[in-house]
Each structure stands twice: as structure tokens, then as C-alpha cells.
Amino acid sequence: MRPTLVVLLGPTGVGKTALSLSLAECLHTPIINADSRQLFRDIPIGTAAPTPEQQRRVKHYFVGTLALTDYYSAAQYETDVLSLLKELYATHPYAFMSGGSMMYLDAVCKGIDDIPTVDQETRQMMRNRYEQEGLETLCRELKLLDPAYYDTVDRKNPKRVIHALEICYMTGKPYSAFRTRQCKERPFDLLKIGLRRNREELYERINRRVDEMIAEGLIEEARRVWPYRKANALNTVGYKEMFNYLDGVWPLETAIEKIKQNTRIYSRKQMTWFRRDESIRWFHPDEADQIKKLIETEVLR
């Protein structure tokens, strides 16, 4: 019988963490984290990383394993998780992954395109250009070098724009030429469980969680990592806004409201991405009993 990977996914703030602990205990498995920012050390508050107590309750992989300056990608995550799964399946027929980073989830479940690894020289060159010339200039260049990708990329996301240009420079070919999006065969079965709430309920939870992060010390955490603010790990909601506050660009109240607003926007992007996957079984987080029954029926049979 083929092993199974149970995947719990959903937008930020929906309630994955609490349920993931319970489901991992039900499956007698560790949790493979699929939140790309929780991989980085030193930013547990702003990324809502599992607490030390939660990590003692259930073993977690890919939490706090990277320095803020480390380079990491969905392709590397695919390689690392598949290697880990091979080890886990040697002694147990089930594995469990939980998170909301869309590309990281797809990298493991569907596979990621074989895109060349960017060398350090090219990466540094593009980073310098971004800092000196700005995102708008790079977007104009991407439009010339790869108009097909330019038409689809989030042009407000410097990571995506920069990476595409890196590949263009490295290979002399458009980045879009490497994006075949062919689903790879996996040596395990998948059960994808999605969590969702109505928009008002989710937004209220997001707003409340941001307030809790502030109370837990997000401002102090942002101040500690401020020297690394140009690192890609910190190009994310929560820290960008806090850096504007620390730089005196915004008052604290504005920064907090912007974090809430941008987190809500991100949650919508996540749901738009997830809705394209017809294999996801959707539940409200309060339907834990129904979720466990599904797992018992389809996995623990």
C-alpha cells in the first residue's frame, strides 16, 4: 500500500495551528511546516511560528532552521521535504504537512519546474540593481526580456520580478520558457484538507491576531532584526510596515492598521490560489470531528 501525505492548508489566521497539533497526534506523526517565513529564526512573533511548548507537544520540521540572510526557495523546499518523507515513510505509512505558503505546498504536492539555480554573483548583481534602481525599472526590463511572464507576475512583488530577471541573465532565455507547470508523479497518495471561514469572521481573527502580536513584542522583534531589513526573509507583511514605523515614516497606529490590511489582502490571494485546486476537501475549523472522521476513513483504514 502506498504511503499517504495528509496536507492541512488554508489562509493566514484561519486556525491551522491548533488543529494541526490535534491531527498530528491522531496520525502519530510530526508536523512538516509549509509556511515559508516560519523557516527563519529570530522572527517567531511576526510569523506566528509554533511556540516552544507546541513544538514540545509535537515535533515540527522546517521551523526556525534558517538564518535571516540564508537563501532558500520552493525548489529547495521540494528537495528537502521529499528527502524527509522518504525517511519518515520507512517507519510509518503516514506523514502530515501543514501551512499556507502556496508555492511551497504545490512544490511538494505537484512538483516545481526545473529552473536553474541562480549563482551568487548574479543574485548579488540583481540585489544591487534593485536597491539602486528600484522595482519599477526592473519591471520595465522584465517586460522587454520576458513579456509573457511580465503579463502574469505580481509586479509589486520584488522577489518574483528579481528572480525572473536572474534566470533571464543566467540562461539567456525567458523565465517563462522554464515554467512548464507539469504535475510530477509522487510515490505517495495525497489527502488535502482545507480550512476556511466566512470573510468577516476571518478578518476579525486577523485583526485580533495582529493586536496580539503587538502585545507579544512584535515592535521589539522588528527592532532587533532591523539591521537585516533588506534580507528577503523580511520582505513580508508585518516587518515592512514595522520598519516604516521605526524609520519614522508612519506613526505606530498607521503601521498596525497597514499590517492588518495587508494581511487581509494576502489571505484573499491565498484563497484565490487554493480554490483552483479541486482536490481540496473544505471544512470550517470547528468541524474537527468531521475532519478526523475523513482521515480515519481514507487514511487510517
> Taking the alpha carbons of 123, 125, 130, 135 in that order, is the dihedral positive or negative?
negative
Domain segments of the chain as ranges: 4-113+189-298, 120-178
Mean pLDDT of 179-205: 93
The mean per-residue pLDDT over the stretch 273-285 comes to: 96
The whole-number pLDDT of residue 117 equals 81
Return d(Cα 210, Cα 205) in angstroms, integer. Answer: 9
Compute the distance between CA of residue 121 and CA of residue 108 in angstroms, rounded to an integer: 28
- Supply the DSSP string of 141-172, one letter for each residue: HHHHH-HHHHTTS-TT-HHHHHHHHHHHHHHS
Domain 4-113+189-298, architecture per CATH = 3-Layer(aba) Sandwich (3.40)
Q: Looking up cell 521589539, which residue turns up?
A: 220
Residue 48 banded pLDDT, cuts 50, 70, 90: very high
Give tens-digit pLDDT for 216-261: 999 999 999 999 998 989 989 999 999 999 999 999 999 999 999 9
| Count, residues in the chain | 301
- Which amino acid, one-letter code, is at 94? Y
User: Residue 301: what pLDDT?
Assistant: 76
Whether residue 67 is predicted with pLDDT greater than 90 in this model: the reply is: yes
The hierarchical CATH code for the domain 120-178 is 1.10.20.140
Whose CA is closest to 110, among 88, 144, 81? 81
pTM above 0.95, yes or no: no
Rounded CA-CA distance 24/299 in Å is 13
